[in-house]
Chain A
Amino acid sequence: MKKLLNFKMTKKQILISSSILVTASFVLNKLIGYHYVTIALMLLTALIAGLPILKRAIVSARYLVVGIDALVSIAVIGAIIIQEYWEAAAVTFLFMLGDYLESRTIEKTRSSIRSLLDLSPDTARIKRGDEEVIVSPDEVVMHDLVVIRPGEKIPVDGKVIEGSAYINQSAITGESMPIFKELNDSVFSGTIIESGYLIVEAEKVGEDTTFARILHMVEDAADKKAKTQKFLERFSKYYTPAIILMSIIFYFITKDIRLALTLLVISCPGALVISAPVSIVAGIGNGAKKGVLVKGGDIMEKLGTVKVIAFDKTGTLTTGQPRVTRVKSFQLSEEKVLEIAAAGEAYSEHPLAKAIINRAKEGNEGNSNTINRAEESTIITGQGISFTYEDKDYLIGNRKLLNEKGINYQDLEQYIQDEESKGQTLVILADKSEVIGIISIADAVRQESLSLVSDLKKKGIKKTVMLTGDNGLAAKEIARQTGMDDYYFELLPEDKVNALNELSTKYGRTAMVGDGVNDAPALASADLGIAIGHLGADVAMETADVVLMSENIDSLSYAIGLSRATVFNMKQNIYFALAVSAFLLAGVLFKKVNLSLGMLIHELSVFLVVVNAVRLLGYKERRKKV
């Protein structure tokens, strides 16, 4: 007996042998009836398919867990005792077959997440002295020089110190457009070089890389339960013992052992318990592949029911990098104005100065200009700079500077006001006596932000607002361009939190979308915090409930659609499972469903629920027709 118990077969072997046996006994039963050969075959099926079930039941009984294994075991043993050999064989076979099919299909629902894990780099080629050695990515240490060739994965986060390359970052951002990287650019682990060649100095390695952290977040997200799921688990905790009790009571009242055993088999609402988690994991997997990380089932449920979405301005709706939008020149050419202005600003770290220098560098027709520096320059705090360039004196700065230095700009007043009302910040360049140029600078709206509001409105979002720390004029212009319903300006971080609370009580569930630069408190306190990805912005990534990995804010409407599809799929599963449970219970009580049929329906319903969830992996945004 002991030897028999230790006799091991693989799951596949069990599946194949019991399939043959169960078919043989079925055919024999039709041909020669309940002959002892038939009975022997049936018992053998029950033994081969049932032994692993019984073993698991015994082990779990030791830990006081009554699972479906125990119930099926009791039912099968009962069936053998009352000489229902065919039922015993059929039930064990179906249970095992169902188990096998379910684990295969469940594997499928998790495949998106699994495939993400497979993207982890396996090897790293590092420079030690003059030699290149291949090591495991875990062995790379900070400041190692890593060499990456076309087709290879970057194994660390770091900075390019030599070479240039086109990099596919889709593993992280979900965007397949390759991005050009050169000297001093940051590159990330898990991304792939499509063409080119890089030497990268490692800054973050192993578990600290952005990619590793994203993987951990996705894994943890997959197991954060949805509210519905918790409810279902509570429900089945009572459902199973209740049916078992019912089965015992029925047995004592009716003495109908068949009925009692059948009740045991259907008492585990397998499809119901599994209905929510399979949908959630498939939904999260789908998102993760497209660069939308939803951190758990509960978030998935919330995201689809958001009423108001609040946006941070700088870096979220806009690119976050001020650019020169217009150069107005008097006397000199635009080129010359920019050249002088850049020379004056050459020593400044101010974002406006950077915008001017960048524009001056761009030059005309793609030639990049070199920047000359002022021979002498003095910073006038809060106003600008006075400097000498090519032996002439200049002033560059704001209106206060002109007033201070007594330079007349009366006739330009109208132009200045017009530009400012369009949200432009102006930098004025003057020589000793008069204004020679006015440079308009603004933080440009992202292309995708323009269609954002109409997309969200189509998804049924009631209200979109913008929260910004910037001044009213700049805020108004961006709000106008993007079509926001409302905008709040000159907000301090705590004002953003208050504004969110207000919106939430007034209109319902409110989400905050930000890049985390100065809106971390808002992201944390909103009903739902959505961080828009700047790779490496770790704090925002960790506090937010949803992370959009790519900078493309389009993925917000995808995330909302996905969340709704996931919740819808979950509900389909739940209602279906409930209906099956009710149907089975009624069927058994009215004696229309026997042991093997009960098992068949049970297993089939679990299978269908999983297959339904697998459909979610193929969820795509219906793109608007252009």
Chain B
Amino acid sequence: MAKRTYQLETLACPSCSAKIGALLKKTKGVNEAEVLYNTSRVKLDFDEEVVTSDELKAKIATLGYQVLSER
């Protein structure tokens, strides 16, 4: 079980955050995903044995959003 917060590049429209949220929630191994529009962050709770942080970041990138930093 791992918890991460990603800082994304600016989320300009609220529908982008809905998209990222939908993507992550459908990803296997992700227990909880919260996309924070105003601070352009994603809070994740996922199972590292099923999906890695790098895989998740790559998934977000397919939607056109780069992960700038994580903690």
Contact = CB atoms under 8 A, between A and B. Distances in A.
Contacts of A537: none
* A106, A107, A113, A270: residue with the most chain B Cβ atoms closer than 10 Å: A106
Interface of A is mostly: helix
A508 interface: no
A106 B39 CA distance: 11
A238 interface: no
A225 to B, nearest CB: 9
A110 B39 contact: yes
Contacts of A67: 13, 15-16, 18-19
Interface string A256-295: 0000000000001010011001001100000000000000
A223 B39 contact: yes
Given A55-B64, A56-B63, A274 B14 contact: yes
Interface residues of A, number: 28
B29 to A, nearest CB: 16
A69 B64 CA distance: 12
A263 to B, nearest CB: 18
A277 B37 CA distance: 8
Interface in B5-46: 10, 12-16, 18-19, 22-23, 26, 36-41
Contacts of A103: 10, 12
Given A67-B16, A268-B15, 9 more contacts: A59-B19, A59-B63, A60-B19, A102-B12, A103-B12, A223-B37, A223-B38, A274-B14, A277-B14
Interface in A62-85: 63-65, 67-68
Interface of A: 52, 55-56, 59-60, 63-65, 67-68, 99, 102-103, 106-107, 110, 113, 219, 222-223, 233, 268, 270, 273-274, 277, 280-281
B64 A233 contact: no
Nearest to B59: A59
Given A103-B10, A268-B15, A59 B41 contact: no
Contacts of A273: 13-15
| Residue of B12, B14, B39 with most chain A CB atoms under a 10 A cut-off | B12
A44 to B, nearest CB: 21
Which interface residue of A65, A273, A277 has the most chain B CB atoms within 10 A? Answer: A65
Contact of A65 (B10, B12, B18, B39): B18
Q: Which of B10, B23, B39 has the most C-beta atoms of chain A within 10 angstroms of its own C-beta?
A: B39
